[in-house]
Amino acid sequence: MRQPRAILVTQGLSKEFQGFRAVSAVDLSVAEGTVHALVGPNGAGKTTLFNLLTGFLKPTAGRITFDGHDITGQPPERIAGLGVARSFQVTSLFEQMTAREHVELALQSGTGLGRRFWRTDTLMRRFSGRALELLGDVGLAHLADRPAGHLPYGQKRALELALALALDPALLLLDEPTAGMGLEDIDRTVALVDQIREGRTVVMVEHNMSVVGSLADTVTVLQRGEVLVEGPYDRVKTDPRVVEAYLGADVA
Ligand SMILES: Nc1ncnc2c1ncn2[C@@H]1O[C@H](COP(=O)(O)OP(=O)(O)OP(=O)(O)O)[C@@H](O)[C@H]1O
């Protein structure tokens, strides 16, 4: 069987903060069309790695290649323009703006028209239909005209996913998609990610191991900024180094 090609590759990727190596010589290879999870104890460097991949931080050393383009040290807009979208862990919604208006704005920003035409009626009508479709995809069609500030937490996260999907990214980065959710919302999110992974590659930081087990094809475990173990979930979860990293040497 033909191996899928690597769509995202890092080589020796490192980030230092005042001499402290938060990410240390990370070699990552994400196969196209897969769900790849980044896990690891608190402070392992997952968020820093995400920030490097999306251009929010510049690496101290190393290289990042996305879809054949060297994106090392490129600004976030350029990386987004190549087809990388990120959904944030911390909510970034406008309280008063409706769910539909949020998605319309995201669709508009994806066209490169800029904010100049924001709220021009003809233009917004063009985005309206697509916005409703995307809200339907994340189970929010019935809440399209509700201000984002009035949505329950799980639905805010679903809206943020719709915003990332509005850019129709080839690579979707999900930062703890189930953080702070109850069981019902977690199940809904797992089903949703399973649906939206069609035709794209997903890299996600996720603490919930049952979510990782349900979704991820490959798991990379980070510890103190370095790759500790990488492989399929079933192999990784029983690896003694991983058990030790999570529970501490004594328990292991
Ligand atoms: N801007 C910064 N300046 C200095 N140190 C930082 C900075 N950002 C992160 N660090 C440090 O780098 C290390 C890795 O942090 P990071 O947030 O990437 O870990 P994480 O794996 O995402 O943790 P968590 O699961 O708690 O979110 C931590 O020790 C953190 O204190």
The rounded distance, in Å, linking the Cα atoms of 89 and 131 is 22
Mean pLDDT taken over the chain: 89
pLDDT above 70 (res 246): yes
The rounded distance, in Å, linking the Cα atoms of 128 and 107 is 9
Cα torsion through 203, 206, 211, 214, rounded to 10: 30
Residues contacting residue 124 through CB under 8 Å, at least 6 positions apart: 104, 108
Helix residue spans in the chain (DSSP H): 46-53, 76-81, 99-111, 121-137, 153-165, 183-196, 209-215, 233-237, 240-247
Tally of CB atoms within 10 A around 240 = 9
The one-letter amino acid code at 80 reads A
**pLDDT one-digit tens code per residue, 42-99:** 899 999 999 999 999 999 999 999 999 999 999 998 999 999 998 865 567 889 999 9
Tell me if the pTM is above 0.95.
Answer: no
**Which pLDDT does position 2 carry in this prediction?**
66
The rounded distance, in Å, linking the Cα atoms of 225 and 34 is 23
The answer, yes or no, to whether any atom of ligand 1 lies below 6 A from the CB of 44, is yes
The one-letter amino acid code at 147 reads P
ipTM associated with this complex: 0.96
Chain centroid to CA 167: 13
**89 CA to centre of ligand 1 in angstroms:** 14
Residues contacting residue 177 through CB under 8 Å, at least 6 positions apart: 87, 157, 161, 189, 193, 204, 206, 211
Atom of ligand 1 nearest to the CA of 48: 18
The answer, yes or no, to whether any atom of ligand 1 lies below 6 A from the CB of 42, is yes
> Is residue 223 within 8 Å of residue 244, measured between CB atoms?
no
Q: What is the 3-state secondary structure (H, E, C) of 128-143?
A: HHHHHHHHHHCCCHHH
The rounded distance, in Å, linking the Cα atoms of 200 and 215 is 14
> Is residue 45 within 8 Å of residue 222, measured between CB atoms?
yes
**pLDDT one-digit tens code per residue, 199-231:** 999 999 998 999 999 999 999 999 999 999 999
The answer, yes or no, to whether any atom of ligand 1 lies below 6 A from the CB of 40, is yes
**65 CA to centre of ligand 1 in angstroms:** 23
**Which pLDDT does position 180 carry in this prediction?**
86
In CATH, the number for domain 1-83+205-252 is: 3.40.50.300
The rounded distance, in Å, linking the Cα atoms of 252 and 248 is 6
Domain parsing of the chain, residue ranges: 1-83+205-252
Q: Which of 47, 204, 226 to mutate to test the pocket of ligand 1 (most atoms within 8 A of CB)?
A: 47
Ligand 1: which residue has its CA nearest to atom 5? 17
pLDDT above 60 (res 107): yes
The one-letter amino acid code at 15 reads K
